[in-house]
Structure 1
């Protein structure tokens, strides 16, 4: 992700309109755009496995699950921020804007070399300001390893490499084996 150089500050409205019709996706921080990078095969498989595993568990609960294409809108220190998490789950019936969510209960970022620092620091600090958020997951695509941050644990990290992932939001469980299904060569 990188900032577009010498670009004028965009309004939120102009940003949202541009994202509807644009071929490239951008994250938005206080009027500045940051182009999104492409994803690896492992990244795509992990996100697909998460959707496949979570979808049956949330069916009939009034929740909506989005992978890669739905933005999260935050307002921090008078700044508007829009991020594209790899996966988000929103179970609030009032969180139904057309192009973004404001009340997700689960957010997942799949780590890559180019995004790990931002996902671990900047996005972690931003996402944990959301009162609705219960679980923040950072998923490695090079090792069978998930960092699970929970509001109920004061955002302390639990590092998982085996067994089940238990989400506080909706009290559901998902096996790590299913998360890494069809991904070879993990350390």
Structure 2
């Protein structure tokens, strides 16, 4: 991510996030604003495939899946002017309806999925992983389109830390820890490598 895609001249907050022009997409982590890169076709295809799996499975159930752009901020009690975090995960699954607001989610979602792009890979793998772990996101998936692998982190709630990551390749089936009845074949998620 280039320096002109980062705003760190002051502490940015959720209030800034709510007031940016609609044609600009920024995320805020620890008061630093990061520009969001335009997604590739492969990125969007993978998100769409995953979202369909979750939305279909969760239909009529208490949990709900949301696709980006959908804002997530973690502290339910913080004022917008002081909250230093606002992110837009690719897919967000929320089971506590009280966390869903008109602007997005306030509080930790149950599951977050991020699909890597070249410009944001380190951001998703390092900064967001730490943010999600510290704020109690139970399950975090990092989807790597280039290598067609999903890395899954699952929170050890007693230690408030993620357990060792698990890896799932294109020929595997992944079962979300929160939804053991949902089996997702990754060959249905990742595009055929001969397409692009």
Give the TM-score normalised by the residue count of structure 2. 0.81
Secondary structure of 2:152's aligned partner:
strand
Q: CA deviation at 1:105?
A: 0.8
Give aligned pairs, total.
Answer: 179
Distance 2:194 2:147 in 1: 8
Give the alignment of 1:160-175 within 5 angstroms: 160-161=168-169, 162-171=171-180, 172-175=182-185
Query: Going by fraction, where is strand more abundant, 1 or 2?
Result: 1
Question: Partner of 1:113 in structure 2?
Answer: 118
Write the mapping of 1:142-157 to structure 2, written as runs, cut at 5 A: 142-152=146-156, 154-157=162-165
Alignment match, 2:78: none
TM-score (norm 1): 0.84
Corresponding residue for residue 17 of structure 1: 19
8 A Cα contact 1:53 1:178, kept in partner: no
Listed one character per residue, the Cα deviations across residues 127-185 of structure 1 (whole Å, up to 9, x for unaligned) are: 01233x221111111122111111259421111112211111132321111111x4434
The match for 1:95 among 99, 107, 123 is 99
Residue 38 to residue 10, structure 1, CA distance change in 2 (3 Å): same
Aligned equivalents of 1:119, 1:90: Cα separation in 2: 20
Shift of 1:30: 4.6
The alignment partner of 1:149 has SS state of strand
Q: Secondary structure at the match of 1:108?
A: strand
- Gap change, CA 1:123 and 1:32, over 3 Å in 2: closer
Partner of 2:187: 177
Match of 1:81 in 2: 85
Give the SS at the match of 2:47. Answer: helix
Instruction: State the 1:4 CA deviation.
Output: 3.3
How has the CA–CA distance of structure 1 residues 184 and 93 changed in structure 2, closer, same or farther, with 3 Å as cutoff? Answer: same
Instruction: Kindly state the Cα deviation for residue 29 of structure 1 after the two structures are TM-superposed.
Output: 3.2
Q: Is the 8 A contact 2:13 2:28 kept in 1?
A: no
Cα deviations by residue, 1:105-140 (Å, 9 ceiling, x for unpaired): 111111122111111111101101233x22111111
